Amino acid sequence: MASKIKIKVIDKESNFRLWLPAIPFWLITFLSSLALKLKPIILKNADNLDEESKMLFEVLDSNILKELIYELKVNGKFDLVDVSTGDGTTVKISIL
C-alpha cells in the first residue's frame, strides 16, 4: 500500500522548478481538512475564480477527499502523471 506522493515540475522555458519531497498522505489529509474548514472564507474572497471552479469547490467535502486518498493508497506505487514535452518541460507525480 502506498503512503506518500512526490511531485516534480520543471519548465525550462520559464526556468521554473518545483520539487516537493515525498509527502505522507496523513499530512495531505490534515492540510485538506484544514482547507475545508476555511472554505467559506476562501469562497467569499475568491473573486478571480470562474463560476464552474467555485461550484466544484462548494461541493468538495471531506468524504470526497478521503475517498480519493484511499484510492491512491490502495493502488500501490505508480506514476500518476509522467509528461515530458519537446521544449524540456517535465511534470511527474508519483505515488510511493
For residue 42, what pLDDT is reported? 83
Q: 14-62, pLDDT tens digit by residue?
A: 999 999 999 999 999 999 999 999 999 988 888 888 889 888 888 999 9
For residue 11, what pLDDT is reported? 95
For residue 30, what pLDDT is reported? 94
- Whose cell is 475568491? That residue is 46
Sheet containing strand 78-84, strands side by side: 16-24, 4-11, 90-95, 78-84
Q: What would the mean pLDDT of 56-71 be, rounded to a whole number? A: 92
Q: What would the mean pLDDT of 87-94 be, rounded to a whole number? A: 95
CB 10 within 8 A of CB 90: yes
Q: Which of the four pLDDT bands, split at 50, 70 and 90, describes residue 95?
A: very high
Q: Which of the pair, 57 or 82, is modelled with greater confidence?
A: 82
